[in-house]
């Protein structure tokens, strides 16, 4: 089973663009040897003791129950359905017998208490060191504050043995006893690295010595703070190894505001996602919401579809598609020999310092916001110079080439900054521009006078139906049939009363105080109208200017507190996404739709 799951995980990670120097297992000879080495060092230092304890025993199965084989109500916060070693809700640690309403997951019966001799690690021996280390900057401030609660109640001896049947490694001097998983599992970090060292000829001890200058970072979920922030550094200290440079804890991923649950249809596996949607869409969405703190991330599917369509497609790759088309059509795929606005380009490059700092401090959402703010500026530049209008005048061909060269260079900077988040998309953008980027310094100089390749879509709009397939409605015993409401029929004469016109959006802006509205200034053929459209969140104002849409021109003007709306823009969609309805290329403002 381990081999099968390992192979599946390797494939999932690879398809998400995640690589490892060494993807290994904790059930290895390296891990057994290092765990025994650590245990003997702790014993030699006087940090190991033995005593008889009363623990959970399943009389029906005839076995002592490991912590995770007992479930019940947390004794601290009263959260139901918690395991017997720690609470996923409040992070409290305890013994299985501390649980309220405890039951064995093997037989469903209530466990009884029985005596057994166990081996304990004296965590309190390391309290002075731990108090100093937890406030050294190795942990997030919120985590350090949380650990103060455990210091306040006192650090208890930690039971590091379990009775057979158990998995893992048998304790050398205690037949029938096995190392508790949270002793040997973190040692797996060391074991995997030792395996890598053996293959690459590296000095393992030099990296793990107390005075090592190498950086060691752990990324964990907030539910296992106690093990990584107290037990792990204490056992490393007691065994003569270096401690982590930093332990970075994150919150959980929820779906539509709910904890992942198979029964509720909110459990999404990596492979199920990959079967439906591009990997880099999820990479982008998570990066756009991820900070350095402990906050949970909610994958609201409507927000997911909107962000991808509005930001990646409508705002980012739209720059490349618009500019490339003019370079391809009239300039033999060749960029201009100079940028018309080199100062703007230098400003984009200079912003890389703050974006790099955000990445380094794990404030990925901040980095994405800065990048998208630059994308807004790039779109604004293109909208201001309107190459689609200049292209109609052969005398302005040089201007069109220059403006689009500027736009493509700004796009190249943006894709470079997003390469840590979307490496595959960035590489395709580099191939299209004919200029690979191996380091951020490569964008210090713009691309001028060079040829570009034919543009192929780097991202396409995602369909709300596909996104909705990520979660499936849980099956229940009773199936209900819902009959969709039938549309009201109208006559041809009634339809003919609608004056549908093609309009060109001349201006677009946010409406202060309105969450969903954009104010559009449209030309419907020599007549300028103001229309308030509920498309904010689906489209950015800058990407709408110059676009042709279909409007209901004879709709009675509606007075809003923001102004008077003189028509309606047609759009299609559902709760998760919205798409403007527009004509094919070649249509002009004022044409009547029939």
Each residue of 341-378: pLDDT tens digit? 999 999 999 999 999 999 999 999 999 999 999 999 99
pLDDT confidence of residue 25: 93
Instruction: Give the C-alpha distances (Å, rounded to integers) separating 325 from 295, 397, 497.
Output: 43, 13, 39
**What HEC string does 516-541 produce?**
CCEEEEEECCCCEEEEEECCECCECH
Contact at 8 Å (CB) between 501 and 591? yes
| Alpha-helical runs (H) found in 257-363 | 270-276, 279-289, 301-307, 318-330, 342-350, 352-360
**What HEC string does 199-253 produce?**
HHCCCHHHHHCCCCCCCCEEEEEHHHHHHHHHHHHHHHHHHCCCCCCEEEEECCE
Q: For Cα atoms 151, 157, 163, give the angle at the middle one, nearest 5 degrees.
A: 140
Exposed/middle/buried for 587, CB within 10 Å: 0-12, 13-18, 19+? middle
280-443 topology per CATH: Isoleucyl-tRNA Synthetase; Domain 1 (1.10.730)
| Count of other CB atoms within 10 angstroms of residue 291 | 16
User: Whole-angstrom Cα distance, residue 85 to residue 94?
Assistant: 5
Q: For the chain, what are the domain ranges?
A: 20-215+224-238, 280-443, 492-580
Which position has the token pair 């691309």? 447
pLDDT confidence of residue 487: 52
pLDDT confidence of residue 491: 75
Taking the C-alpha atoms of 460, 440, 17 and 364 in order, what is their torsion angle to the nearest 10 degrees?
-80
User: What are the backbone angles phi and psi of residue 85, rounded to the nearest 5°?
Assistant: -120, -30
Round the CA-based radius of gyration of the chain to a whole number and report it.
Answer: 31
Maximal C-alpha separation, the chain:
95
**H/E segment holding residue 177:** strand 177-179
CATH of domain 492-580: 2.40.50.140
User: Whole-angstrom Cα distance, residue 303 to residue 309?
Assistant: 10
User: What are the backbone angles phi and psi of residue 121, rounded to the nearest 5°?
Assistant: -95, 130
Closest CA to 222 of 143, 130, 139: 143
**What would the two tokens of residue 415 be?**
């894709």
Q: What sign has the CA pseudo-torsion 54, 56, 60, 61?
A: negative
Q: Which residues of the chain have pLDDT under 50?
A: 474-486, 575
pLDDT confidence of residue 575: 46
For residue 428, list its beta bridge partners. Answer: none
Instruction: Give the C-alpha distances (Å, rounded to integers) separating 221 from 19, 68, 88, 294.
Output: 20, 18, 10, 9
CATH of domain 20-215+224-238: 3.40.50.620
User: Whole-angstrom Cα distance, residue 381 to residue 379?
Assistant: 5
> Hey, is 110 helix, strand or coil?
coil
**What would the two tokens of residue 92 be?**
């409290």
Q: Which strands form 63-64's sheet, in the order they lie side by side?
A: 63-64, 48-58, 112-121, 158-159
**What would the two tokens of residue 72 be?**
């019940």
**What would the two tokens of residue 126 be?**
């390391």
pLDDT confidence of residue 89: 84
User: Whole-angstrom Cα distance, residue 82 to residue 103?
Assistant: 11
Contact at 8 Å (CB) between 246 and 290? no
Residues near 485 by Cβ (< 8 Å), separated by ≥ 6? none
Q: For Cα atoms 230, 234, 236, give the angle at the middle one, nearest 5 degrees.
A: 125
For residue 161, list its beta bridge partners. Answer: 179
């Amino acid at each position: 089973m381990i081999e099968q799951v390992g192979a599946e995980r390797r494939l999932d990670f690879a398809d998400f663009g995640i690589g490892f120097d060494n993807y290994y297992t904790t059930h290895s000879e390296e891990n057994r040897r290092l765990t025994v080495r650590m245990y003997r060092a702790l014993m030699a230092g006087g940090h190991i003791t033995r005593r008889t304890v009363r623990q959970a025993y399943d009389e029906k199965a005839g076995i002592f129950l490991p912590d995770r084989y007992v479930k019940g109500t947390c004794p601290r916060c009263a959260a139901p359905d918690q395991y017997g070693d720690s609470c996923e809700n409040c992070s409290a640690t305890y013994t299985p017998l501390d649980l309220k309403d405890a039951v064995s997951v093997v037989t469903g019966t209530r466990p009884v208490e029985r005596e057994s001799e166990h081996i304990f690690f004296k965590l309190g021996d390391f309290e002075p060191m731990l108090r100093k280390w937890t406030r050294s900057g190795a942990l997030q401030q919120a985590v350090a504050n949380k650990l103060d609660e455990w210091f306040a109640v006192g650090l208890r001896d930690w039971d590091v043995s379990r009775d057979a049947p158990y998995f893992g490694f048998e304790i050398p001097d205690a037949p029938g006893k096995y190392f508790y998983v949270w002793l040997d599992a973190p040692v797996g970090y060391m074991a995997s690295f030792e395996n890598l060292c053996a293959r690459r000829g590296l000095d393992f001890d030099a990296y793990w010595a107390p005075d090592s200058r190498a950086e060691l970072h752990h990324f964990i979920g907030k539910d296992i703070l106690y093990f990584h922030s107290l037990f792990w550094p204490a056992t490393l200290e007691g065994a003569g190894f270096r401690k982590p440079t930093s332990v970075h804890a994150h919150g959980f991923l929820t779906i539509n505001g709910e904890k992942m649950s198979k029964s509720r249809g909110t459990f999404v596996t990596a492979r199920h996602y990959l079967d439906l949607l591009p990997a880099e869409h999820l990479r982008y969405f998570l990066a756009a919401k991820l900070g350095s703190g402990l906050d949970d991330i909610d994958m609201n599917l409507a927000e997911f579809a909107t962000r991808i369509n509005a930001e990646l497609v409508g705002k980012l790759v739209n720059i490349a598609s618009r500019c490339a088309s003019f370079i391809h059509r009239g300039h033999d795929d060749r960029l201009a020999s100079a940028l018309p606005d080199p100062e703007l380009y230098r400003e984009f490059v200079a912003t890389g310092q703050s974006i790099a700092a955000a990445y380094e401090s794990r404030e990925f959402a901040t980095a994405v916001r800065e990048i998208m703010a630059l994308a807004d500026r790039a779109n604004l530049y293109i909208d201001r110079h309107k190459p689609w209008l200049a292209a109609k005048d052969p005398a302005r061909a040089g201007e069109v080439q220059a403006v689009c060269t500027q736009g493509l260079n700004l796009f190249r900077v943006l894709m470079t900054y997003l390469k840590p988040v979307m490496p595959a998309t960035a590489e395709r953008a580099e191939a299209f521009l004919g200029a690979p980027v191996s380091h951020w310094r490569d964008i210090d100089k713009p691309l001028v006078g060079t040829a570009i390749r034919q543009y192929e879509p780097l991202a396409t709009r995602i369909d709300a139906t596909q996104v909705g397939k990520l979660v499936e409605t849980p099956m229940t015993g009773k199936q209900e049939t819902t009959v969709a409401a039938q549309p009201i029929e109208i006559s041809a004469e009634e339809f003919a009363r609608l004056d549908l016109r093609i309009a060109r959006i001349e201006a677009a802006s946010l409406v202060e105080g309105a969450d969903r509205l954009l104010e559009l200034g449209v030309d419907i053929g020599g007549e300028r109208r103001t229309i308030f459209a509920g498309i904010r969140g689906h489209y950015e104002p800058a990407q709408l200017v110059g676009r042709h849409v279909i409007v209901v021109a004879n709709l009675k003007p509606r007075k809003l507190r923001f102004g008077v709306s003189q028509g309606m823009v047609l759009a299609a969609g559902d709760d998760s996404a919205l798409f403007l309805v527009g004509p094919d290329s070649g249509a002009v403002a004022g044409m009547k739709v029939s």
